[in-house]
Amino acid sequence: MKTIHHSFLSIIFSIMLIFILFVTSFEAVCYWTPDFYRNEFIKYDVTGSLETWMGESMSLDDMCYVIDQTMVYLRGDRENLIIETNIDDRPAQFYNDNEKSHMADVRVLFVKCIFLRSIFILTCLAISGYLIVITGAKKALYHLSKGYIQICMLILLIITVIGLLAAADFTKYFTIFHEIFFSQGNWMFDPRESRMINMLPEGFFSDCALRIAMTFTGTVTALLIFCSVFVSSTKKHFSK
């Protein structure tokens, strides 16, 4: 019974840890990567796109300011999306009401994920602390490593399947994602009327998704290797 109890806690710990790693990978790409947005804006010529579709001119620096403030808003550190910038060399608000409505929905998802990550971190600390107290540090690590290996193999399989599907038709699965999480239907925009969709084209999101997937997979795999080596080196001792 003790073994089943330890295994159950280890699996719960591992599921939470993988969620923590995913949210942190997202944060690493979207918040910690220097000049990520500037380089993407240059790659997709977003200022040129804005001028082509809407006949408006913005500097790259102003566009970067808008996205920086937007990301601050999305994680709950800014009260609203009333972001004033220079458009056609005149002060103007960047976002229209429909864009603000959609981004408010995105903000809810962001904040929930960050909050859930905090809860999961505390829970993981509680589980690991409990196992250390009743089994000792090394055996606790052994149980947690075994649970992580089991869950991790399934997660990597799921990531591989999703990655292959997205690579085959990113637009289709990007649409499905929005239909699931933003069923209100306020996520489709016309580039002739939306500055936001000119600033954030689909190519930007595919690049972002690829970076997040690579960061997440790399972190998960590195931890998997560590756990596998540890379990292999201590299996004889703890399986007795």
41-49 long-range contacts (CB < 8 A, ≥24 apart) are 41/67, 41/199, 43/203, 43/207, 44/201, 44/203, 44/204, 46/198, 46/199, 46/200, 46/201, 49/191, 49/198, 49/201
pLDDT of residue 188: 86
Q: In the predicted model, is pLDDT for residue 239 greater than 70?
A: no
Query: How many CB atoms sit inside 10 A of residue 124's CB?
Result: 19
Q: Work out the pLDDT band at 1, boundaries 50, 70, 90.
A: low
Mean pLDDT of 89-111: 94
Average pLDDT score over the chain:
91
For the stretch 156-215, pLDDT in tens is 888 888 888 888 888 888 888 888 888 777 788 999 999 999 999 999 999 999 999 999
Q: Work out the pLDDT band at 4, boundaries 50, 70, 90.
A: low
pLDDT of residue 19: 95
